[in-house]
Structure 1
Amino acid sequence: MDGVSVASGIAGLITLALQVSGAIAVYVTSIKDRSKNIRELHEELLLLSEVLGSLREFLTSERAKGRSFDNNSVLQKAISDCRDRIERIGEKLKPLEGGKVSRAIDKLKWPFEQREVNHLIDNLRRYGQTFHFAVTVEGCDLLARTSEDAAKGLQEMLGVSRKISELSAQMGLSNEEAAKRAAQIQEIIALIPMLTNTALDVNELTHAARMAELREQERRTTDILDWLAPVSWLHKHRDLQLRRSKGTGVWFLQNRDYLAWLQADTAEHDLLCVGGPGAGKSILCSLIVDHLRSTFKDPNVAVAYYYYDFSDQQSQTPINLARTLLRQLSMNGNTVPSAVAEFYQRTRNDVKDQTWFHDLLSILRRVAATYTQCFVVIDALDEADIHSQRTGLFEVLDALRDSGRAKILALARPHVLNNTMRFASPVVVDIIAHSHDLRLFLARAIEERPDMADILDDNLKEQILETLCQMANGMFLLPALQIRTILDQVTKAAVRRSLTHLSTNLTEAFQSTIQRITNLPLAKKELAFKVLMWISHARRPLRAIELQQAMAMQPDDDNMDLENMSPVRTIVDCCCGLVEVDRESFIIRLVHHSLEEYLREHDHGLFDDASLIITKTCLKFLILDFTKHLPFKNRNEFHQAIDDLPFLDYAATEWGFHAGAAPVEQFRAQAIGVLNDSLALIAIARIRDRYSAEFRKWKEKAWVWASSGGAGISLVASFGLAELLEILINENKLNLCLDARNMYGSTPLHEAALQGHDRVAEILIGYGANLLDRNYGSATPLYLAVSYGRLSMVKLLLKFNHTQLDTPGPRGLTPLHKAAEQGNVDIVTALLQAGALVAAQDNSGMTALHLAARRGHLSLVRLLVLAGGLVDIQDRDGLCPLDYAATGGYTEVVRYLLENGGNMWHKGHEAWTPLHRAARGGHTDTVSFFLQHHGDVLAADLRGNIPIHLAVRSGSMSTTRVLLEFGSQLKREQIFVQDRKGSTPRTVAFFTAHYDIHKYLRAEEWALLGTEPSDANILTSAIERGDLEAVRIHLTNNPDALYQCDEDGQPPLHVSLQEKQRAIVDFLLESGASIESVGYHGWRPIHIAASLGNLELVDVCLNHGADVKSRTQTRQTAMHKAASSHSAAVVRRLIEAGADPNDRNDRGMTALHVAAHQNDIQTVRLLVGEYGMDVFTRDFMKLTPAMWAERSGHLEVLAFLRAEAKKIRTATRAAADEQQQTTLGSPRDKQMRLLNIEGNVEDVDFDDEMD
């Protein structure tokens, strides 16, 4: 390695030393008692920086010219180890991250002990002596050797110095210089053994840091996965595994249709496994999932499942189905897919409306496409509600199919065969309880009752198995109930009698079991029927502890009596086998969906008052003394309190749904009491929103809402309780508060519109509710109804006021904009029929037609055009709907717009034609369409770019080829055309690191010119072939070729990096190639490695001393190149090596601008989230990163940056408000005084901030 390369490594070390000394300077003035000690360390670092500066100047001077350094030289090791030690100092000086707590600590804490500082100073002095010694020709030559050789030389030099010192003393002369020289040499000799130890220490620290990073990565991964879908949603599979008898289902795994589906290369057919009630489909589903996982252990094959459950309709929405499947598809690697991580950052606090659902489907489609195969197994399809769940289910399945990788298997009852159109050429397999499986199941049930061993001999066991298998009628459930009856007998004779009186169908079996319960002692009978009522009528599955608490509540209780709770074992035993407890989630449930149907639908008269009983129990819980004293001041304590009384969560969130099915007069007084109780209302608000990350910001608003006089009306409206609403209104006519705003700024009418409660909305409007009120997100009730796809509500609201039709909401979007963005044809139709303004423009000047075209909604584009939408209307950037369709690559939308007046030669922003936009996106099909319709391949934009320039930038080889082949007569013009900077398409390919396209265009150039590769390219050709031996021979015969450039201006090292030929890279570096050699347009090796996004090659460059701050002729740093490479890992590595992401190129762009322009959401998130880059920063054209994302049509990046900008603005406003409230006193303080409950609430919420 030459001196210049070593000097470049020193430059980074100087910067690091100055940065750390700057950090230490803060402590010098802040910590008085140890300032002398700290000042010494600070001064030592500054002195070291000066010495390093001198050494750098020396190494780049003429005196050091021609010197080479061994890769393991003492000087190289000293520089590397010095950097590691200073980095470790810097790491300890990093301030704590956190919220109010860490910000509240005024005094800095010095992280080093006195002993440590002294040790650090000694080491830094040794490094300083070493570097100072190297600033001479003699010292430099000596330290350029390996440790062993240098130590010998230094010992010899030390001996000479000592002799000179002795002679000087004998002659009476001063020996000060000789003594200094000897001391310096001794310091260096002492340093040499340390270098090896330091390397070991650093390795240990690196390993520890890596382990810490892995732990943090695991934590982040868990956070994202749990946000997607709590792991509890997957518990049912584990419970089914535990219940499954070993050897069950072998017959199915050998089924011909199943094997054909399993082994098919393509997903041509879906597999439908159809069986009647109780046939064992769920158990079989768990077996199929486990079989797929054991068969395909390749990480490129994914297996995902979902179990529908009729009792859990509330949570099993299409959105939650998609989230659960996406969680499973995101679990195959060590980290979640970047698309999922970005989606989490962008939307974790967003309202989950239909737009969010469509974005979720897009992410699911992208993640599924990363696998070679994606198996999806859906159980109990028949239990998915046909109105609220079935349509969304098929949207999810269609999204998976769009990935081209999904194989779908569904299990259901036979009636689903009436509607198989949404399945792909389904093959049907009949599922019945196989006799072999039945015998295994029944034998296991007998084995689990050792108390029956004396009664059941082998003959009687066999008789039981034979009888139950014969009577099973293809079901597991029937013999499962029968065996319980048999095993409850106490004599052999009783067992034999029971075998002759068995039920022949499920209804009889259920009736028989109910009769057995009726015959129990009174207390047990009442307990059993209570259990069955609660489980069969609860809106969601209940955990055992929730059920125990619900049943323990007595009408006159002021608080929960824990001693009145029945044991779980007693609960299960009393129900005679009709209920079971999930071993993973502790959910108590009925043994089968068929039993739930029987209990709900048959006229058995058991639970006529179920809704009323549950409603009154819930209301009772909401006014308990416990509820009035919930610890609101601290989120963690609040969660713990709710965990202690978990049924309170159910009561607060579900009471209204039960109330809707109960006679209002029978719970009226109790309900009015709760709805007029401010403490109960604030508790309900806190419980309902307790998982929101933003709740701490809304606490004050929650108090205002709870005491406004309209909170009760708001709550009733959200549940759709029309009768109770009218009662509340009549009781408060003199002080009617229909504009009470909840934590989101929504009025009762907003609540009704969002939930789709038409009758409630009519009542509110009749009493004067304002249809034009906006919540804190600027949404009107109509806008919310549109956002959540409430068609009937939309039609209702439109009857009363047409002004709301074109009232702008968030970002200036009208309801028509929102419906078009979501692709909701029915609502768009209703809005148009009501007279919505088709030409209405949002804050960006976009119409609904722009949004429909941008999303690729062809049917909506047609509808809007027929309604008078202008095809050639331009937004504020001068873009038409056709521009957006071309940007997204929606060829059919492009076709329709062109057929209806679209102008394919229109030039919008930057003078791009639609062909430019399709080419920039790499949309080959859309580009082909434009070419077939005579698109202009030579049309130039403001920068002189023609479409092929942009196709090359996209990195799409197929798009580049299409442009050249379609315009073969214009091939020469396209190949050699230059933009305003003089760049041909091949030049652009090089700049954007698309080296495969670069080689393709180079070959096309040679073909057009009729030339062959020149002698200058012989070595390049050998490198491109990966022929190391040819490279070795060529350099042996032509040693100067190591430093010469080929006809593209590239040295051999650059070419080997471009081609990712690691072995050749190492060989060239060992042969003396400079890591700072300059190639085409001032590029250095580090720029090429970074542009490839290749972490391994970047590390090679850095380990050989590459300067991370070096710039190309256009002032691009390696950081700029990495930001365009879609490699967040390389970006992180460069920053760790000292690169500054805020460096600007000749256009004033930072790495954040580049990443946003290149649609690299992972890097954007990294730069903003971890390195705090400013999302408002502007380049020389006054463009922010978000503006670059918008111009390029990168919607995910745009949404993320906008969300981050919103957070900053919100935080700024909050800080201003907090300052104002500190001066004037907050409204909430006044409200608390009014309520006289100062002791219950604290404004300081340190734990919330730390959360």
Structure 2
Amino acid sequence: MSFGFSVGDFIAAIELANKIRKEFIDAPGQFKAIADEVRTLSIVLQDADFAFLSRELNNEQKRDLEDIDTGCRNVLDELQRILDKNTELSSENGGVGKRIKRVWKRLNWKPEDISQLRNRISTNIGFLNAFNGRLTRDNVVKLIRHQEDQGRQAVLDWLTTIDFAAQQSDFISRRQAGTGQWLLESAQFQTWVETNQQVLFCPGIPGAGKTILTSTVVDYLYTKIQKDTNIGIAYLYCNFRRQDEQTAEELLTSLLRQLAQGLPSLLGSVKSLYDNHKDKRTRPTFNEVSGALQSVGALYSRIFIVVDALDECQASDGCRTKLLTEIFAFQAKSRANIFATSRLIPEINEQFKDSMRLEIRASDYNVQRYLDSHMLQLPRCVLRSSELQGEIKAEIIKATNGMFLLAQLHLDSLKGKTSPKAIRAALEKLPTGSAAYDNAYNDAMRRIEGQLADEEKLAKRVLSWITCAKRPLATSELEHALATELRESQFDEENLSPIEDMVSSTIQHNNTSSESRGVGFQMQKLISRQLALRTSHSTSSRVGFAKTTRSSNNGFS
């Protein structure tokens, strides 16, 4: 608190009040009223002292309490001075060494002075009671609010466990500074942001950076609206490796959850879903979720819905069509704006044929910024030559042709080169287009196969588990999967391979030639991301290599 106010100040006031109470014990009857006031003040001070010790007060409460304490000390100090002035000490029976007692001078203390002091004491008692009462009410309100928050969270968690916040944090943290500014500043995007019920469709080739740009849009929206609770934001990151859990029902429920948790209190229609199904252990139907979503949406003045990678949303059983149909229906009944990304797929293009459109491509400027920030990863021969650095940037930018991911793959392919001649030879052979992914992944496999036999086997087993698992694996899960032995009835912990060895076999091949060091290309990034993450539901494990032309492990989708 200000001025050094602390619990010691309260103790001093309480001690002074108790001292004055004792001095009133032998006072005449006409002083009983003020003695009772001091006694009451002492009790209330002790209550406030307990509140000060047992509760965490905010700054406003601390200032109020300090003011009240100052008022109490002032009136108690004045009362002590009056007592000292209007009494004298004398020896009982006049004997030396006899017991000393207080003798009152009744006539020197005017009744109006006593009345004024009583009023001041009573006023401070009132302040303290009001303060203690306010604290009690605040605590009751906090307790009720805490219970409500717990119940609210239980309902939201019951709706769905799918949470895209982790993906958003992961993708935006890997965004190169300045990336996507062209999109945010484009006329189409600004129209979409400023006008109600607009749809902006952003198709793009594989590796163009759609996912990173989507995270940029989400971040922009949250920054723009800040604490405006009248505007709702909900977003989805579709993932082909999670199609089993990302059904139309679950994705729509995720939108419901995100919008519901943005409201100050839980809407009755959402609570009704919980009450009607929780005890029965059933799940709400698609229509029930849709109805609740409409109810929640009606409470916002504006809503932004962002969907990334629609092409990865399950197309079988009409899942993708069902989801899009419901999102468009929601838009028609609310003030929602829709932003969506996808690869160039005719079926999806048809559904957005009447929408604003802005193709996502990696601009030369953004690719150069990426290369500038990663140039230090290349061999010393490159770092010593600004001319060679310029050649590398120019050739990679030319080969990238709007595919951001290729910039990363091509840069990685130069890391094992040890001379300017080898660098320039590699630059002349940089593949372009989607076929470049095949070359990159095949080259990475050749590097792995060039290791010692045990390292090669471990690297391939790591890759197999990561790519074939139905969901992203935690590091500990991967360790145990690799340590599991066929035809063994018990798990042997001595068979666990350290994470460092997994990384070494797939990324840092120190026992091979400089040409073979590192798994290289996107596979290197895949493994390094997977093994570095310590959470079981990492969102950066989307895998695509060999004959697959998509890889969004680094957000380039």
TM-score range, shorter chain: 0.5 to 0.7
2:225 aligns with 296
State the 1:491 CA deviation.
Answer: 4.5
Q: Is the 8 A contact 1:279 1:476 kept in 2?
A: yes
SS in 1 for 2:548: helix
Q: Give 2:448's aligned residue.
A: 517
Structure 2 partner of 1:456: 383
Q: Is 1:275–1:430's contact at 8 Å kept on the other side of the alignment?
A: yes
Post-superposition offset of 1:586: 5.1
Output the amino acid matched with 1:328.
Q
The 3 A distance-change label for structure 1 pair 461 and 275 is same
Are the counterparts in 1 of residues 204 and 361 from structure 2 also a CA contact under 8 Å?
Answer: yes
Q: Corresponding residue for 1:136?
A: none
Confirm or deny: 8 A CA contact 2:210 2:341 kept in the other structure: yes
Higher relative contact order (CA 8 A, sep 6+): 2
The reply on whether 1:199 has 2:149 as its aligned counterpart is no
Going from structure 1 to structure 2, the CA distance change for 1:597 and 1:511 (only over 3 Å counts) comes to closer
- Aligned ranges 1:1114-1193 → 2 under 5 Å: none
Give secondary structure in 1 for the equivalent of 2:358: strand
How far does residue 570 in structure 1 lie from its aligned partner after superposition?
4.2
Do residues 482 (structure 1) and 410 (structure 2) align? yes
Q: Which residue of 1 aligns with 2:336?
A: 406
Q: Is the 8 A contact 2:166 2:538 kept in 1?
A: no
Alpha-carbon displacement from aligned partner over 1:1044-1081 (angstroms, at most 9, x marks no partner): xxxxxxxxxxxxxxxxxxxxxxxxxxxxxxxxxxxxxx
Distance 2:305 2:444 in 1: 37
User: Which of the residues 302, 316, 321 maps onto 1:373?
Assistant: 302
Partner of 2:373: 444
Q: Is the 8 A contact 2:201 2:340 kept in 1?
A: yes
Provide, for residues 613-653 of structure 1, a one-character-per-residue CA deviation record: whole Å limited to 9, x for no partner: xxxxxxxxxxxxxxxxxxxxxxxxxxxxxxxxxxxxxxxxx
8 Å contact 2:167–2:539 — kept in the other structure?
Answer: no
CA–CA distance in structure 2, aligned partners of residues 550 and 406 of structure 1: 45
CA spacing shift, 1:461–1:571, aligned 2, 3 Å: farther
Paired with 2:489 and 2:538, the residues of 1 have a C-alpha distance of 27
Which amino acid in the other structure matches residue 291 of structure 1?
Y
Deviation at 1:400, TM superposition (A): 2.1
**Which deviations, in whole Å up to 9, do the C-alpha atoms of 1:752-791 show, x marking residues without a partner?**
xxxxxxxxxxxxxxxxxxxxxxxxxxxxxxxxxxxxxxxx
Contact residue 313 and residue 540 of structure 1 kept, 8 A: no
Counterparts of residues 512-551 of structure 1 (less than 5 Å): 512-551=443-482
* Correspondence for 2:324: 394
Distance 1:592 1:193 in 2: 67
Q: 1:291 to 1:322 in 2, by over 3 A?
A: same
Q: Give the drift of 1:276.
A: 1.0
The Cα shift of 1:324 comes to 1.6
Contact 1:312 1:539 in 2 (8 A): yes
Q: Could you tell me how far apart the structure 2 residues matched to 1:205 and 1:378 are?
A: 46
Distance 1:591 1:494 in 2: 32
Q: Which among 288, 299, 316 is matched to residue 246 of structure 2?
A: 316
Deviation at 1:363, TM superposition (A): 0.7
Q: 1:559 to 1:498 in 2, by over 3 A?
A: farther
Query: How far apart are 1:596 and its partner, in Å?
Result: 7.4
Is the Cα contact below 8 Å between 2:237 and 2:307 reproduced in 1? Answer: yes
Aligned residue in 2 for 1:327:
257
Deviations 1:528-586 (A, max 9, x none): 22222222222222222222211210114333333433344543550624112375745
Deviation, structure 1 residue 242: 1.1
Aligned to 1:344: 274
Name the residue aligned to 2:168. Answer: 237
Does residue 502 in structure 1 map to residue 433 in structure 2?
no
Q: Is the 8 A contact 1:314 1:540 kept in 2?
A: no
Q: How far apart in 2 are the matches of 1:277 and 1:335?
A: 41
- Is the 2:382–2:389 Cα contact (8 Å) retained in structure 1? no
Q: 1:316 to 1:409 in 2, by over 3 A?
A: same
Q: Which runs of 5+ in 2 are unaligned?
A: 1-39, 48-117, 508-518, 551-557
In the TM superposition, residue 379 of structure 1 has moved relative to its aligned partner by: 0.6
User: What is the distance in 2 between the residues matched to 1:441 and 1:198?
Assistant: 64
Per the alignment, in what secondary structure is the counterpart of residue 598 of structure 1?
coil
Q: 1:199 to 1:541 in 2, by over 3 A?
A: same
Query: What letter is aligned with 2:428?
Result: T
SS at match of 1:430: coil
The equivalent position to 1:249 in structure 2, one of 170, 173, 180, is 180
In 2, the alpha carbon distance for the partners of 1:339 and 1:195 equals 45
Counterpart secondary structure, 1:376: strand
Counterpart in 2 of 1:429?
358
Post-superposition offset of 1:291:
1.4
The alpha-carbon deviation at position 588 of structure 1 amounts to 6.6
Contact 2:247–2:314 under 8 Å retained in 1? no
Kindly indicate whether the alpha-carbon contact (under 8 Å) linking 1:235 and 1:584 is maintained by their aligned counterparts in 2.
no
- Please give the secondary structure, in 2, of the residue aligned with 1:328: helix
Distance 1:597 1:235 in 2: 29
**Distance change in 2, residues 1:271/1:207 (3 Å):** same
Answer whether contact 1:310 1:384 (CA < 8 A) is retained.
yes
Task: Compute the TM-score of the two structures, normalised by the length of structure 2.
Answer: 0.66
Shift of 1:476: 1.5
- 1:382 aligns with 311
One-letter amino acid of the counterpart of residue 337, structure 2: K
Determine helix, strand or coil for the equivalent of 1:595.
coil
Asked if the contact 2:472/2:541 (under 8 Å) is kept, the reply is no
Q: CA deviation at 1:367?
A: 0.8
1:196, CA displacement in angstroms? 4.4
Counterparts of 1:197 and 1:191, CA distance in 2: 10
For the Cα contact (< 8 Å) 2:442–2:546, is it kept in 1? no
Aligned ranges 1:17-28 → 2 under 5 Å:
none
Structure 2 residue aligned with 1:282: 211
Shift of 1:248: 0.2
Distance 1:432 1:535 in 2: 29
Offset of residue 309 of structure 1: 0.7
Q: Check 1:321–1:588 CA distance in 2 against 1; reply closer, same or farther (3 A cut).
A: closer
- Note the C-alpha offset of 1:494: 3.9
Q: Give the C-alpha shift of residue 592 in structure 1.
A: 5.5
TM-score computed with the length of structure 1 as normaliser: 0.31
Letter matched to residue 175 of structure 2: R
486-495 or 297-306, which deviates more: 486-495
- The whole-number CA distance in structure 1 between the counterparts of 2:437 and 2:207 is 9
Matched, 1:222 2:127: no
Residue aligning to 1:1089:
none
Give a deviation string over 1:925-951, Cα, whole Å, max 9, x none: xxxxxxxxxxxxxxxxxxxxxxxxxxx
Please give the per-residue CA displacement for 1:244-281, whole angstroms capped at 9, x wherever unaligned.
111001111122222222222x31x4221111111111
**Distance in structure 1 (CA, Å) of the matches to 2:449 and 2:289:** 50
Unaligned runs of 5+ in 1: 1-77, 86-187, 601-1251
SS at the partner of 1:411? strand
Letter in 1 for 2:277: T
In the TM superposition, residue 385 of structure 1 has moved relative to its aligned partner by: 1.6
2:111 paired residue number: none
Matches of 1:592 and 1:469 in 2, distance apart?
A: 25
Between the aligned residues of both structures, percent identity stands at: 27
Report whether the alignment pairs 1:595 with 2:524.
no
